[in-house]
Amino acid sequence: MAPRVIITGAAGLIGQYFMKTAARWAPGWEIHRLTRADLDLTDFSSVERMWEHLNPSAVIHCAAMSRTKDCEQNPKLALRINREVTAHLAHLSSDIPFIFLSSGEVFDGRRGWYREEDEATPINFYGKTKLEAEQLVLQNPRHTVVRIVLTAGTSQNGDRSFVEDMCRTARSGHPVTLFRDEFRCPLPAGAIARAIWELAELQAPGLYHLGGRERLSRWEIGQALLAWYPELQGHLREGSARAHAGAPRPTDLSLNCEKLQALLSFPIPGFRSWLTDQKREGIDVWDYHPGLS
C-alpha cells in the first residue's frame, strides 16, 4: 500500500497547493486532506478517532490561526489552535514524520536574513504561539519545522493570499497602502509545496527556513505585481510602518534558506524573478516556473 500523508488545513492557501501539486511532486503518496469542515482539530477525542482510522505514515500540518489581528483579539483561541492542537497532533504522530509549517513571525524583525540558529523573540501573539508550538514539535527528533513568511498564490474562493487581499481592496475602490520600510521574502505557494514535498521524501527532520531569494519591501512587492494585476494601477499608496497602529509587525523578516536549499533539487526562486520569467514564458502567474519543472 502507498504511504498515507495527512494534510491539515487543506482548504487554506498552502494546503490547496499541496493538494494541487501532489500528483506531480508526491506521486507515491496517498493523500488525505483535512479541512475545518471535515474535522475540528480542537476536538481532541474526534481527532484521536480519526487518526486511529486513517493510520497515517506522515503528516504535514498547515492548519493555523494565522492572521495577526485575530490572534491579538482572541489569544485564548490562538493558543488553542496554534500551540495546543499542534502539540496534540505531534503527540499522535510520535512515531512518524511530522512537518509543521511555522512562521518567520517568531523573529522581532530588527535585522533580517535570519538563520535557523538565530534567537527567536516574537513581538506579536501570533509569533509567540508559533514559537511555543515549534519548541514542542522539535522535542521529537523525527519531526520537522519549516518557517515561511509571505506566500503568494490564488485560492479557490479568492480570499486566502495577500495578493487576493490587495486586488479585492483595489476593486472596491479603496487605496492599498504598502510600507516602504517593511521587508519580506515572498515565495509562490507552488514553490513552497514542492520544497516541502521533497523534504518529506528525504525524511530529513529538523528546523528549516523557506522564503524567496529576494528581500523586498511591501511597496516593491506591490510594484512587481502591477504587470499581472492591472486593477492595482492607481490604487497603490506608499506608506511607512511607523504609521502602523495595529498589532506589532516585525520590520524585516527576510530568511536565510541555505540549509534547506542544500537539500533541494531545484533553486528557490526570488519573487520578482519568478514574475518576470512567468511573463516571458506566457505562463499563468502562479503556475509552475519552468525552472521548477
User: For 175-195, what is each residue's pLDDT tens digit?
Assistant: 999 999 999 999 999 999 999
Lowest mean pLDDT among 86-90, 137-141, 283-287: 283-287
Q: Residue 68 pLDDT > 80, yes or no?
A: yes
Predicted pLDDT at 128: 98
**Which grid cell sits at 256?**
536565510
| DSSP one-letter code for 29 | P
Q: Where do the H-state alpha helices sit in the chain?
A: 13-25, 44-54, 68-73, 75-78, 85-92, 125-137, 162-171, 189-202, 218-225, 258-261, 271-281
**Which position has the higher pLDDT, 188 or 280?**
188
- Provide the 8-state DSSP code for 54: H
The pLDDT, as a whole number, for residue 293 is 44
The fraction of the chain above a pLDDT of 90, given in percent, is: 85
Rounded average pLDDT over 162-176: 93
Provide the mean pLDDT of the chain: 93
pLDDT at 290 over 50: no
CATH topology of domain 4-292: Rossmann fold (3.40.50)
- When pLDDT is averaged across residues 222-233 and rounded to a whole number, the result is 93
Read off the pLDDT of residues 138-151 as tens digits, 9 standing for 90 and up.
999 999 999 999 99
The gap from C-alpha 58 to its chain's centroid, in whole angstroms, comes to: 19
Task: Please check the confidence at residue 292 and state whether its pLDDT lies above 80.
Answer: no
Q: Which residues, in sequence order, are bridge partners of residue 17?
A: none
Lowest mean pLDDT among 91-100, 251-260, 271-280, 284-293: 284-293
Cell of residue 129, nine digits: 504561539
253: Cβ contacts below 8 Å, ≥ 6 apart: 104, 105, 107, 109, 112, 114, 149, 150, 183, 184, 185
Parallel, antiparallel or unpaired: strands 216-217 and 183-184: antiparallel
Assign 3-state DSSP to the chain and report helix, strand, coil percentages, each to 5. 40, 15, 45
Q: Which residues contact 59 (CB under 8 A, 6 or more apart)?
A: 5, 6, 8, 89, 93, 96, 97, 98, 99
